[in-house]
């Protein structure tokens, strides 16, 4: 199992470690998932996200390669702009969801999920062959600082107050700071050379407003924010249309374009989707991913893809993929024969607090 540059720091902080995407990662610290979650919503949470992969694309045809890999107008992307997008397979299914930032005329940075690193890199390298582009995996330490105090904390180290949500800068050689995150809170993601990681984390932790936050609270925070997680809510078999992510594709590219999967996705959009991602409130108890959903007659209508307890919501919450024809009727989770009513709600479960 691999370790991030912060492994010993987590152990010294008393973290309970566990396997995630091939890395030994902190699941929670002595503070506990509940308080870590609440701390992030109230102050500033520090997350080790070094397991995520950073792929640099540079060269005269970098924009053309990004436009081939991802369904958006990469050539029109402003320098310093970060964008949520995905790579599609030939059938229009999602290979991975990503943040792609344009760092220069001929330079892009892809930040991809840890669990997809190997297949993403293989896919990018294979597609890059005909293009004049250099593909590099950047060895980086990567931290997220999330919460309403993140700007004030990070402001002691970088000029970040003027940054808008979904923008990025490179404050020093090998450093990258973006106003992004996956908690629903304002916050930043900071990449740096591996050797600089622990020292910088210690500087941030010297601020009383900062606490380490583990993967347990990372999951409850993102689920409250209604954000899908690849491998649970998204997969190669699910299209952006089904996942409710069509907003991330420009209108003029939904009917076709030069990106991989364009025709297949256009056909599927035209035909209409049979299933859709929804947000549900389970009555009384948490309902976990993998649980079957049924209608009032007991017919299977879908599956819970993510489920858990929301510390800020103060109750259970779930994301699910359900038949469109059953989405507006009564939905129940089938828990070993017991039927738990699931109330459909409009996501997010907890309002976003982004800096716009």
Partner 1 sequence: MSKIYYTDEHEWLSVEGDVATVGITNHAQEQLGDLVFVELPDVGTELEQGDDGVVVESVKAASDVYAPASGTVVEVNEKLNDDAALVNAGAEGDGWLYKMKLSDSSQLDELLDADGYQALIS
Does 186 bind partner 1 (CB under 8 A)? Our answer is no
CA angle 50, 53, 59 (to 5 degrees): 135
* β-bridge partners, 278: 320
Q: How far is the CB of 25 from partner 1 (least distance, A)?
A: 13
* Angle at which helices 62-69 and 117-128 cross, to 10°: 130
Does 281 bind partner 1 (CB under 8 A)? Our answer is no
Residue with smaller CB distance to partner 1, 109 or 217: 217
Does 197 bind partner 1 (CB under 8 A)? Our answer is no
Dist. CA 340–CA 17, nearest whole Å = 33
Torsion of CA 226, 232, 235, 241, to 10 degrees: -30
Rg (Cα) of the chain, in Å, rounded?
Answer: 20
Residue with smaller CB distance to partner 1, 28 or 188: 28
Does 20 bind partner 1 (CB under 8 A)? Our answer is no
From 13, 20, 32, 56, residue interacting with partner 1 (rule: CB under 8 A): 32
* Angle at which helices 215-224 and 33-42 cross, to 10°: 60
Residue with smaller CB distance to partner 1, 317 or 321: 317
Number of shown-chain residues binding partner 1 (CB under 8 A): 20
Q: DSSP assignment of 154-185, as one string?
A: HTTTS--TTPPTTBEE--STT-EEES--SSSB
Please identify, among the stretches 151-159, 187-195, 229-237, 305-313, the one whose residues bind partner 1 according to the rule CB under 8 A: 305-313
Residue with smaller CB distance to partner 1, 115 or 197: 115
Does 288 bind partner 1 (CB under 8 A)? Our answer is yes
Does 285 bind partner 1 (CB under 8 A)? Our answer is yes
Write the binding mask 308 to 347 for partner 1: x where contact by CB under 8 A, - elsewhere. Answer: xx-x----x-------------------------------
Tell me the Ramachandran region of residue 156: left when phi exceeds 0, alpha when psi lies from -120 to 50, beta otherwise: alpha
Does 266 bind partner 1 (CB under 8 A)? Our answer is no
Tell me the Ramachandran region of residue 165: left when phi exceeds 0, alpha when psi lies from -120 to 50, beta otherwise: beta
- Residues of the shown chain interacting with partner 1 in the complex, contacts defined by CB under 8 A: 16, 27-28, 32-35, 37, 215-217, 219-220, 285-286, 288, 308-309, 311, 316
């Amino acid at each position: 199992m691999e370790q991030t540059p912060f492994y010993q720091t987590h152990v010294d902080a008393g973290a309970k470690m566990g396997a995630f995407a091939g890395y030994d990662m902190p699941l929670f610290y002595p503070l506990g998932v509940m308080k870590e979650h609440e701390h992030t919503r109230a102050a500033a949470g520090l997350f080790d996200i070094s397991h995520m992969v950073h792929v640099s694309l540079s060269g005269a045809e970098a924009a053309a390669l990004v436009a081939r890999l991802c369904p958006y107008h990469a050539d029109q992307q402003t320098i310093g702009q970060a964008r949520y997008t995905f790579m599609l397979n030939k059938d229009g299914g999602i290979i991975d969801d990503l943040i792609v930032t344009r760092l220069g005329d001929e330079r892009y940075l892809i930040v991809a999920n840890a669990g997809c690193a190997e297949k993403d890199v293989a896919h990018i390298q294979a597609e890059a062959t005909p293009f004049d582009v250099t593909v590099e995996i950047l060895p980086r330490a990567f931290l997220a600082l999330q919460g309403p105090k993140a700007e004030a904390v990070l402001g002691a180290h970088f000029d970040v107050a003027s940054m808008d949500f979904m923008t990025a800068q490179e404050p020093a050689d090998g450093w990258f700071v973006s106003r992004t995150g996956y908690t629903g809170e304002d916050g930043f993601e900071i990449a740096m050379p591996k050797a600089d990681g622990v020292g910088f984390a210690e500087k941030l932790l010297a601020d009383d407003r900062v606490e380490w936050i583990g993967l347990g609270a990372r999951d409850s925070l993102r689920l409250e924010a209604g954000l899908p997680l690849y491998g649970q809510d998204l997969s190669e078999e699910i299209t952006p249309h089904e996942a409710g992510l069509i907003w991330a594709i420009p209108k003029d590219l939904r009917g076709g374009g030069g990106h991989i999967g364009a025709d297949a996705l256009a056909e599927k959009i035209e035909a209409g989707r049979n299933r859709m991602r929804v947000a549900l409130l389970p009555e009384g108890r948490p309902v976990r991913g993998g649980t079957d959903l049924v209608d009032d007659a007991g017919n299977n209508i879908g599956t819970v893809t993510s489920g858990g307890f929301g510390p800020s919501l103060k109750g259970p919450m779930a994301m699910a993929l359900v038949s469109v024809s059953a989405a507006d009727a009564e939905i129940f989770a089938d828990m070993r024969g017991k039927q738990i009513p699931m109330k459909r709600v409009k996501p997010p479960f907890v309002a976003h607090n982004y800096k716009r």
